[in-house]
Amino acid sequence: MSRANNAIFPLLVAAALGVGACGGAGKTTVAVPGTASKTAPPAPPSTSAADSLGPRPEPKPPVPFVPPAPQVLEGPGNSKVWLLERHALPLVTIALVVPYGSAAEPADKGGLAFASADMLDEGAGDRDALAFSKAINDLGAKLSSAADRDSSIVSLEVLVSKLDQALPLLADAVVRPRHANKDWTRVRTLWQNALKNRAHEPNEVARVVTSAVYYGAQHPYAHPPDGTLTSAKKVQLGDISKWHKTIWRPDAATFVVVGDVKPDAIGASLKKAFAAWKVPAAAQPPVVTPGPASESNLRTFVVDRADAPQVVMSFARSGPPASDAVFPRLNMLNLALGGSFTSRLNQNLREDHGWTYGVRSRFNSQRGAGMFVVRAALRADATAPALRETKKEIDKMRAEGLAAPEIDKVRALLNGEALETYGTLHGVAGSLASNAALGLPPDQDAKDLASQRSATPKDLATLASSYLDVSSVTLVLVGPKETAIKALADSGLPKPELVDAEGRSVAH
Amino acid sequence: MTTSAAALELPFEQSKLPNGLTVIVHEDHLLPQVATNLIYRVGSKDEQAGRTGFAHLFEHLMFMGTRRAPTKAFDQWMESAGGSNNAWTSSDFTDYHEAGPSTLLPLFLWLEADRLETLGREIDRPKLDLQRDVFFYKGRATTENRPYGKVELRLPELMYADAHPYHHPVIGSHADLEAASVKDVRSFFEQHYVPGNAALVIAGDVRAGEAKELAQRYFGFIPSPPPERAPKSTSPLPATKLDKVVRETIEDQVEMTKVIMTFHSPAHFEPGDAELDILAAVLSSGKTSRLYKSLVYEKALAQSVEAAQESSILSSIFNIEIMLRPGVSPEAVEKVTDALLTDVITKPPSDEELARAKNQIAFDFVDRLQSIAARARLLNMYWAEKGDPGYVVKDMARYDQATAQGVLAQAQKTITLNSRVILRVVAAGGRGAPAEGKRGGAR
């Protein structure tokens, strides 16, 4: 249910999971964390007569969960505060978000928003980078920052007893960053090294290249939010400072606060800590809402990874913006198609054929024109049949929509996912921050579930026929060149263009 | 430290079924959800020589379907009702867990009881062969596709003597699994997958009385193990001591060289274990930590550093991983690192460093209690390791009571520069940093 599918949610989750030096029972070395081992053989025969275990219990339908809406308060400098109180633990998570991300960057400075977020904790106010890091760590707090296509975010997680000491640090990071040359030199080098590492990670390469070739060079969503090797070299410290001043303004910002605090107290604490944060004289920059990618025919691209044991398949077609009324219901189609373990694609490619450890699809949640993406790392020799089966499954859903039991399953899954999201502070904060960034209302999560619960089979069939046409997708294969080209030819697909790990054309 | 014990204490009720299964219930009524966690006290350490990989293989076999819950049905029923599930295996334990709306509790228990009761009996040659293939395909793909993945397979072999239960990696050996007979597998199951070797935690929007009743209803009929069950080996463990510096270089498809230094350290909850968590924070948590500040911030030799006390129940390892910047020689990094390590075995950490580490740990103790699934796991891990699901307060006290002198004393025992493993992972085919200056590298 959560729309937080961009950088924001993983950031908050990663921060929350960053148990670091913590001892205790939860840290036994895990060989295969979070990886279920669920590949299955042909079905064994069915039941016998007397059974001590008794019949399988039929679960009672759960009470439909309605996500609570946050209170909306006035924050410092015309900012908004979305507050959801949670008093079970003495913790608070604050996510401060503005609706400016990589889509709003100058065309030749890809990664500016990302690098700017990276510089947020590199010294601020009276503290240099080391002193700032020390001050945060002294409190046992966690401060993290990120940028995705549509937004920039900085988040603070802290014991509530340390909140009043931590808030001025958050405020300094936003209002008085130092942006020292020495720190930028280091951050830039680490960033460029990370981009070199990215080129070795096939799933990352597939992500970067798919957006690049699907949207096409000049589109604001084409370049990766973390930039490219070329664009990273062009970003200068002056650009960072200018960008920071432009986007971090209170009248564009939302504080999402979740945890053990009361409205009056948190309102006063924020106003005190952010007293120096004023609305600048310059007009608020426009929020960028990119239009759709230009129409195109079926196109194929190959990124060569010689000797790789797998071929990563990734393809894209258009999807609606996150604010479109159909968006939550498209998520229902997606859960049934490739968004869950028992989805049709995962059952086919993984469980029936063993071609992949998992296939996933999704409608990207974006302020502007969206994208429907399917991705899987395939056994190299199974690329052609996997492409065929993927197309077959999608065409089938497009033609027939969802059957009633599948709709029930999807509704149950959405209910379960909502409970999981609202079961942790970082889950709630991630979801609300994403809604705020995309210009959606505070109670969007409840609205989504209501829309999903009222969808009829006919509604979903209509959507499937409009949004699951994959006859003219942009398809990317990352793997050994010869294998990939042969798989495309065997599947009757067009001859590919060879591109590098960032989607630039390379000579044949 | 400021975190009060009251914030950490999770109320629970513990009981035992007549067949020996421990049942732990934690009520939390914030949201209408439930989490179950079933831990079996068996891991790769319990495997016999020549039969490695069984614990993890069994985790896979447990998802293969049974007579009552045929192939695919487990997940279909689970997701159709809005639930989710997974499992993991370590050297010490195997853990199965589920979460979802609270109305799913009977289904979760029925599914777990079913596979505990039937799998040992139902395992046959075709099932074993099929799962073994899948298992190894996954193992290989995971290793080959994840940069630096080979380290976790090789490190245990270098750290522990052949006869030590931690010598082999959790995934085990292909040859051993190839050689495994159905009888071997069944006997492993019968020895370890018994109610008395497991605990079930039920956490969330449930009433303790009702939850216990459901546990009895679904697990109560499963028999206790026969009395002739083989006792666990009581032979003394081989010494966990290296008498020299063990060096090895691994080639991998990576951009940057990584140096890994590993030392033997005290088992989880043994004296010194908590002090090493504090030492790890002093070394690599935050920009002012010793290794980060020197290697990444000041000298610009490293891309990242990470130090951790990786605790297990028989013995632990203290691990330092340093990702080198392109063109930097491993020798230079090792030299600087050794100087910094010499410092922590010469002088105690400052009061400020100690307080900072303790505050970070205090935060983590509270933070990890957020989800009911995490709480279910925590209660069960404390049960499995200490026999007391409520051990959290005593656990926290270890950190509260730690002193700078205590950290120094443990550092002196653990950080032994003349007996450790030093692994280097370098780019295959000679790309990346020059080694020993013999090859041209990035300039």
Euclidean distance between the first and the last CA atom of chain B, given in angstroms as a whole number: 48
Which residues have CB under 8 Å from A26's CB, separation 6+?
Answer: A19, B368, B374, B377, B378, B381
| The token pair that represents A324 in the structure block | 């479109």
What is the rounded distance in angstroms from the CA atom of residue A73 to the CA atom of residue A96? 14
Q: Determine the 3-state secondary structure of B432 from DSSP.
A: coil
Decide if pLDDT at A462 tops 60.
Answer: yes
Q: What is the pLDDT of residue A125?
A: 95
Cβ–Cβ gap A422/B356 under 8 Å: no
Same domain membership, residue A337 and residue A245: no
Q: Where are the alpha helices (DSSP H) in A248-326?
A: 263-273
Q: What is the pLDDT of residue A17?
A: 28
**pLDDT tens, B300-345?**
999 999 999 999 999 999 999 999 999 999 999 999 999 999 999 9
Euclidean distance between the first and the last CA atom of chain A, given in angstroms as a whole number: 43
Task: Tell me the nearest-neighbour CA distance from B192 into chain A, angstroms.
Answer: 19
Cβ–Cβ gap B361/A23 under 8 Å: yes
Decide if pLDDT at B225 tops 70.
Answer: yes
Cβ–Cβ gap A426/B310 under 8 Å: no
Task: Give yes or no for a contact between B38 and B95, defined as CB atoms under 8 angstroms apart.
Answer: yes
Nearest CA in chain A to B400: A23
**pLDDT tens, A197-208?**
999 889 999 999
Query: Tell me, what amino acid is at A207?
Result: R
**pLDDT tens, B231-241?**
555 667 877 78
Task: Give yes or no for a contact between A435 and A365, defined as CB atoms under 8 angstroms apart.
Answer: no
What's the whole-number mean pLDDT along residues A287-300?
Answer: 93
Q: Phi then psi for B168, rounded to 5 degrees?
A: -100, 150
Task: Tell me the nearest-neighbour CA distance from B149 into chain A, angstroms.
Answer: 11
Q: What is the pLDDT of residue A499?
A: 98
Question: Is residue A187 situated within a structural domain?
Answer: yes
Least trusted range by pLDDT, from A17-21, A191-195, A409-413, A430-434:
A17-21
Question: Is residue A159 situated within a structural domain?
Answer: yes
Same domain membership, residue A370 and residue A453: yes
What's the whole-number mean pLDDT along residues B110-125?
Answer: 89
Cβ–Cβ gap B361/A136 under 8 Å: no
Decide if pLDDT at B280 tops 70.
Answer: yes
The label of the residue with tokens 């989710």 reads: B84
User: pLDDT grade, residue A22 (50/70/90)?
Assistant: very low
User: pLDDT grade, residue B141 (50/70/90)?
Assistant: low
Nearest CA in chain B to A421: B371
Nearest CA in chain B to A413: B82
The mean of the pLDDT values for chain A is: 90
Decide if pLDDT at B402 tops 50.
Answer: yes
For residue A413, list chain B residues with Cβ-Cβ distance below 8 A: 79, 82
The mean of the pLDDT values for chain B is: 89
What's the whole-number mean pLDDT along residues B64-70?
Answer: 88
Q: What is the pLDDT of residue A407?
A: 97
CB-based contact (8 Å) between A492 and chain B? no
Exposure string over A201-215, b if 16+ CB within 10 A, otherwise e = bbebbbbbbbbbbbb
Same domain membership, residue A422 and residue A305: yes
Cβ–Cβ gap B366/A408 under 8 Å: no
For residue B91, list chain A residues with Cβ-Cβ distance below 8 A: 29, 31
Same domain membership, residue A313 and residue A265: no
Q: Determine the 3-state secondary structure of B79 from DSSP.
A: helix
Q: Phi then psi for B201, rounded to 5 degrees?
A: -105, 135
Query: What residue ranges define each of the domains in chain B, with the CATH number in brackets?
Result: 8-219 (3.30.830.10), 245-430 (3.30.830.10)
What's the whole-number mean pLDDT along residues A175-181?
Answer: 97
Give the Cα-Cα-Cα angle B72, B75, B76 (nearest 5 degrees).
75
Question: Is residue A506 situated within a structural domain?
Answer: no
Tell me which residue in B32, B310, B361 faces A65 most closely, judged by beta carbons. B32
What is the rounded distance in angstroms from the CA atom of residue A389 to the CA atom of residue B400? 58
Q: What is the pLDDT of residue A46?
A: 43
What is the rounded distance in angstroms from the CA atom of residue B409 to the CA atom of residue B407? 6
Which residues have CB under 8 Å from A114's CB, separation 6+?
Answer: A102, A146, A147, A191, A225, A226, A227
Share above pLDDT 70 across residues of chain A, in percent, rounded to a whole number: 90
Tell how strand A80-85 and strand A254-259 pair up: parallel
**pLDDT tens, A145-158?**
999 999 999 999 99
Tell me which residue in A19, A34, A415 faces B86 most closely, judged by beta carbons. A34
Q: Compare B179 and A1 and report the one with higher pLDDT.
A: B179
Tell me which residue in A29, A140, A420 faces B99 most closely, judged by beta carbons. A420
Assign 3-state DSSP to chain A and report helix, strand, coil percentages, each to 5. Answer: 45, 15, 40
For residue A161, list chain B residues with Cβ-Cβ distance below 8 A: 2
Decide if pLDDT at B432 tops 50.
Answer: no
Tell me which residue in B91, B144, B286 faces A29 most closely, judged by beta carbons. B91
CB-based contact (8 Å) between A101 and chain B? no
Q: Which of 249-308 (A) contact B at CB < 8 A?
A: 308
Nearest CA in chain A to B170: A31
Question: Is residue A117 situated within a structural domain?
Answer: yes
Same domain membership, residue A143 and residue A265: yes
Decide if pLDDT at A47 tops 60.
Answer: no
ipTM: 0.90
Tell me which residue in A32, A38, A196 faces B63 most closely, judged by beta carbons. A38
Question: Is residue A124 situated within a structural domain?
Answer: yes
Same domain membership, residue A329 and residue A251: no
Same domain membership, residue A458 and residue A401: yes
DSSP state of B295: I
Decide if pLDDT at A71 tops 80.
Answer: yes
The DSSP result for B150-165, as a single string, is HHHHHHHHHHS-TTST
Same domain membership, residue A449 and residue A353: yes
Chain B interface, mutation test: which of A17, A19, A22, most B Cβ atoms within 10 Å? A22
Cβ–Cβ gap B381/A25 under 8 Å: yes
What is the rounded distance in angstroms from the CA atom of residue A194 to the CA atom of residue A229? 10
Q: Determine the 3-state secondary structure of A255 from DSSP.
A: strand
Nearest CA in chain A to B383: A25
Task: Give yes or no for a contact between A26 and A19, defined as CB atoms under 8 angstroms apart.
Answer: yes
Determine the structural domain holding residue A257 and report its residue range.
Answer: 71-273
Question: Is residue A37 situated within a structural domain?
Answer: no
Alpha-carbon distance values, A18 to A452, B368, B369 (Å): 34, 9, 13
Decide if pLDDT at A28 tops 70.
Answer: no
What's the whole-number mean pLDDT along residues B284-291?
Answer: 97
Cβ–Cβ gap A33/B75 under 8 Å: no
Least trusted range by pLDDT, from A134-143, A307-316, A401-410:
A307-316
Cβ–Cβ gap A24/B378 under 8 Å: yes
What's the whole-number mean pLDDT along residues A361-389?
Answer: 96
Task: Tell me the nearest-neighbour CA distance from A80 into chain B, angstroms.
Answer: 26
Same domain membership, residue A465 and residue A405: yes
DSSP state of A59: P
Give the sheet arrangement for strand B245-252, strand by strand. Answer: B245-252, B420-427, B258-265, B316-324, B302-310
What's the whole-number mean pLDDT along residues A221-248?
Answer: 97
Q: Please return the burial class of B208, using the count of CB atoms within 10 Å of its CB with bins 0-12, 13-18 and 19+.
A: middle
Question: Is residue A46 situated within a structural domain?
Answer: no
Query: Tell me, what amino acid is at A149?
Result: R
Greatest pairwise CA separation for chain B in angstroms: 70
Which residues have CB under 8 Å from B137's CB, separation 6+?
Answer: A354, A379
Q: What is the pLDDT of residue A41?
A: 33
Share above pLDDT 70 across residues of chain B, in percent, rounded to a whole number: 91
Give the sheet arrangement for strand B13-16, strand by strand. Answer: B13-16, B22-27, B198-204, B33-40, B94-101, B84-89
What is the rounded distance in angstroms from the CA atom of residue A219 to the CA atom of residue A208? 14
The closest of B82, B79, B120, B88 to B101, measured between CA atoms, is B82
What's the whole-number mean pLDDT along residues A209-225?
Answer: 95
What is the rounded distance in angstroms from the CA atom of residue A275 to the CA atom of residue B288? 29
Same domain membership, residue A221 and residue A127: yes
Tell me which residue in A90, A342, A415 faces B366 most closely, judged by beta carbons. A90
For residue A86, list chain B residues with Cβ-Cβ distance below 8 A: 30
Residue A72: alpha-carbon gap to chain centroid: 25
CA Rg, chain B, in Å?
A: 24
What is the rounded distance in angstroms from the CA atom of residue B295 to the CA atom of residue A350? 43
What is the rounded distance in angstroms from the CA atom of residue A68 to the CA atom of residue A15? 24
Decide if pLDDT at B119 tops 60.
Answer: yes
CB-based contact (8 Å) between A129 and chain B? yes
Task: Give yes or no for a contact between B171 and B56, defined as CB atoms under 8 angstroms apart.
Answer: yes
The label of the residue with tokens 């992949």 reads: A356
Query: Tell me, what amino acid is at B240?
Result: T
Which residues have CB under 8 Å from A113's CB, separation 6+?
Answer: A100, A101, A102, A104, A105, A147, A152, A225, A243, A247
| The token pair that represents B118 in the structure block | 């039937």
Decide if pLDDT at B4 tops 70.
Answer: no
**pLDDT tens, B32-64?**
999 999 999 999 999 988 888 888 888 888 888
Share above pLDDT 90 across residues of chain B, in percent, rounded to a whole number: 69
What is the rounded distance in angstroms from the CA atom of residue B57 to the CA atom of residue A498? 40
Tell how strand B245-252 and strand B420-427 pair up: parallel
What's the whole-number mean pLDDT along residues A443-450?
Answer: 98
For residue A89, list chain B residues with Cβ-Cβ distance below 8 A: 7, 366, 369-370
Residue contacts between A and B (CB atoms, under 8 Å): 342
| The token pair that represents B177 in the structure block | 């699994």
Query: Tell me, what amino acid is at B35?
Result: A
CB-based contact (8 Å) between A217 and chain B? no
User: pLDDT grade, residue B145 (50/70/90)?
Assistant: low
Same domain membership, residue A305 and residue A218: no
Cβ–Cβ gap A43/B145 under 8 Å: no
Residue B87 host element (H or E): strand B84-89
Same domain membership, residue A473 and residue A420: yes
Q: Is the sign of the CA dihedral B164, B166, B169, B174 positive or negative? A: positive
Question: Is residue A195 situated within a structural domain?
Answer: yes
Q: Is the sign of the CA dihedral B131, B133, B139, B145 positive or negative? A: negative
What's the whole-number mean pLDDT along residues B247-267?
Answer: 94
Q: Please return the burial class of A132, using the count of CB atoms within 10 Å of its CB with bins 0-12, 13-18 and 19+.
A: buried
Decide if pLDDT at A219 tops 50.
Answer: yes
User: pLDDT grade, residue A304 (50/70/90)?
Assistant: very high
Decide if pLDDT at B121 tops 90.
Answer: no
Task: Give yes or no for a contact between A290 and A214, defined as CB atoms under 8 angstroms apart.
Answer: no
The CATH number assigned to the domain holding A421 equals 3.30.830.10
Domain end call among A238, A273, A308: A273
Total domain count, chain A: 2
Q: Is the sign of the CA dihedral A350, A354, A358, A364 positive or negative? A: negative
